[in-house]
Amino acid sequence: MPFKKKKRKEKSLSYELDMNLIPKHIAIIMDGNGRWAKERNLPRTMGHRAGIETIREIVKECSRLGVKYLTLYAFSTENWKRPTDEVNALMKLLVEYLKNEFDELHSNNVVINSIGDISRLPLICQKELENAYARTNTNSGLVLNLALNYGGRDDITHAFKKMYKDLKFGNLMENDICEDTISKYLYTAGIPDPDIIIRPSGEQRLSNFLLWQCAYSEFWVSNIKWPEFKKEHLHQAISDYQNRDRRFGGI
């Protein structure tokens, strides 16, 4: 079913959203799945499964609100340290998500994209991702950007290596190197920096997420764990964002 059309101004609980000031790029550190499961005496993987329901709701709402890019931190370069069972379960959930949600995402014009080195993911994940990119890359709606085997430091290291090769073979000149050039070598090339980074579950750190890109992002943290994060919390984050004074270092 198509997502509903947007109005100019919307009221959700007590959050009135200015539809002309919807952030272009929202990035989310989906945290708290494990604690959510523990509180219910469930295995951690059930927390991740519950987190998928939140992804569905938030993707739908971002799309409806006219957000252009939604980046979800789904698996970090450090998450390989988790027990093998949990890593395998996350990879399985990714494949399940892409298979089950593909038709609805595609029919709602969503572009499926990823950032990070996916060559380390199981082949089945790579295959589903490649298939999803190929089939949605001409869509014009929300870009759903899944951060998979992603780390901010790895992103910068990878960019350095690519730049070094281009410099060595004369495809890039030292004088051409500026901030914009560096941005173009990152996994997020072509995607504007996030306007707001949302972190549920009470932690107040970046955890190696979008380190270069977040220079002027607004942070929004909440104690709500990701499986309990609803569209009303997204509205609250957007409403707070709309009331902030972004000066980008000016006055």
Please report, as ranges, the residues that interact with ligand FPP according to CB under 6 A: 30-35, 48, 51-52, 72, 74, 79, 90, 93-94, 97, 146
How many angstroms separate the CA atoms of 92 and 145, rounded? 18
> Nearer to ligand FPP by C-beta: 23 or 34?
34
Report the half-sphere exposure of 201 (CA within 13 A, side-chain side): 20
Residue 24 C-beta: closest distance to ligand FPP, Å: 21
Set 18, 20, 33, 79: catalytic member: 79
Residue 199 C-beta: closest distance to ligand FPP, Å: 10
Report the half-sphere exposure of 50 (CA within 13 A, side-chain side): 21
State which residue has the least CB distance to ligand FPP: 34
| Helix H or strand E segment including 18 | strand 15-18
Q: Is 180 a catalytic residue?
A: no
Set 18, 20, 31, 103: catalytic member: 31
> Nearer to ligand FPP by C-beta: 23 or 200?
200
Residue 81 C-beta: closest distance to ligand FPP, Å: 11
Residue 227 C-beta: closest distance to ligand FPP, Å: 8
Tell me how far apart the 2 most distant CA atoms of the chain are, in Å. Answer: 58
Q: Is 33 a catalytic residue?
A: no
How many angstroms separate the CA atoms of 106 and 88, rounded? 26
How many angstroms separate the CA atoms of 171 and 126, rounded? 29
Pair 132, 102: CB distance under 8 Å = yes
> Nearer to ligand FPP by C-beta: 159 or 210?
210
Catalytically active residues are 31, 79
